[in-house]
Amino acid sequence: MTDTELDLRLPNDLAELDALSSRIEAFMEAAGIPPTPAYRLQLAVDEFFNNAVDYGYPDGRAGEIAIEVRRVGDQLHLVFSDDGDPFDPFAAPAPDLDGALDERRVGGLGVHLVRTLCDSFAYAREKDRNVKRLTFALAG
């Protein structure tokens, strides 16, 4: 592994989130990632990790979450996968941002934010895993 790639495999346990955040932060610094794309990628990983743990394993089974980050030229590539129940977060309708707070449907704001902050996103179900691929531009 070089300072332009990071591969992590973690159990589906929220107790892993602090260590995960620290590892990603260290990678971003070593790879020379500017603050804005570094923040955006960290936000996406936090959102997807929390959602996978909270909703992907409703029966409480143990699972594996994989995070792969690559710096490729002027882009940052994220592949986030888990072996939880099938779910495409990008197929969910956009949240209602105009209605009164007490009338809005709960959920969806985190994924909506990730979608607006990345340059491209895609979902696929591959070999019994949810696979989300995102890219982030390194330059403004």
Q: What is the CATH number of the domain that holds 126?
A: 3.30.565.10
Sign of CA dihedral 35, 117, 96, 47: negative
pLDDT of residue 92: 77
Overall number of domains in the chain: 1
pTM for this structure?
Answer: 0.88
Mapped onto helix, strand or coil, the DSSP state of residue 137 is: strand
* Nearest CA-CA partner of 29 in 39, 14, 44: 39
Kindly report which listed range (54-68, 95-109, 114-128) carries the lowest average pLDDT score: 95-109
What range does the domain containing 26 cover?
5-137
Cα maximum dimension of the chain: 48
| Length, in residues, of the chain | 140
- Type of residue at 123: Y
- Tens of pLDDT, residue by residue over 68-105, are 999 999 999 999 999 999 999 988 776 655 566 555 45
